[in-house]
Every structure is written in C-alpha cells, then in structure tokens.
C-alpha cells in the first residue's frame, strides 16, 4: 500500500492511494491523537483511490506541527505533513542559514570593494 501526495492546497491534503485490495481506513493523527479519517474516492484505475482531508485550523500553531496519515489496521504511517509557523522559527536553522547568507553577501561586497580600491585581485 502506497500513499502519494499530489498536493496540499488551501488546507486540503490530496493524494492517491494504491492498494492491492480494498483500502483500509486511514487515520489522521496529530500529537498522538486521531483527529479524523481521510475521504476516499474513486481513482483513475484499479486499486487506486483518491484521498482527501481538510486540515483543521487549530493545527496551525507556533512551532513545528507534524500530522501523520496512517493505516488504522496496523498503524503504518503512509505520509506526514509538516507545518512550520510562528515566532518560534526565529531560532530555526533555516533562519540562521539566511542570516549567514546575508553576512556572506556583505563580506563579498566589502572584499570586492577593497580589491577595486587597492587594485589587487
């Protein structure tokens, strides 16, 4: 069984589930609590089903939120959605990398200006 995400748009998760037989119930889990189940629709072929789920607004909170889609039968995680939001991200590594890039650009400009002013390569 394979779940392939096709898009996440406007708070709605959409994907294609490929299963060898009837698809299982797929739970949506956040912070170890089941917050719903996905909607299954007819797919574009045998053993392929459209999957959809509207993320509740309360899931969007400061920090990193992970929502898992798993089989209710055996608990196998089929996909994960990671949402990053809020002021907590100021300390996030990506923010640090962006600051380092800005500082590197500043140093490159200063070095080029120095080379131009002194006539050295």
Closest CA to 11 of 28, 25, 24: 28
Report pLDDT for 15.
93
Higher pLDDT, 6 or 86: 6
Q: What's the pTM value of the predicted model, to 2 decimals? A: 0.68
Task: Map out the domains of the chain as residue ranges.
Answer: 2-85, 87-121
pLDDT in tens, 100-112: 888 898 899 889 8
CATH 2.60.40.1130 for domain 2-85: yes
* CA dist., res. 82 & res. 119, Å (int): 51
pLDDT tens digits for range 31-77: 989 998 889 887 676 788 899 999 999 988 888 889 999 988 888 89
Specify the DSSP class assigned to residue 28: E
């Amino acid at each position: 069984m394979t779940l392939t995400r096709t898009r996440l748009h406007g708070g709605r998760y959409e994907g294609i589930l490929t299963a060898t037989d009837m698809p299982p119930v797929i739970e949506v889990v956040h912070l170890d609590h089941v917050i719903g189940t996905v909607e299954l629709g007819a797919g574009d072929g045998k053993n392929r089903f459209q999957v959809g789920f509207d993320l509740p607004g309360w899931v969007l909170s400061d920090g990193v939120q992970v929502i898992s889609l798993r089989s209710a039968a055996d608990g196998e995680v089929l996909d994960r959605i990671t949402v990053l939001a809020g002021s907590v991200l100021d300390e996030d590594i990506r923010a640090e990398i962006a600051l380092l890039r800005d500082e590197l650009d500043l140093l490159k400009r200063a070095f080029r200006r120095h080379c131009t002013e002194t006539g050295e390569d």
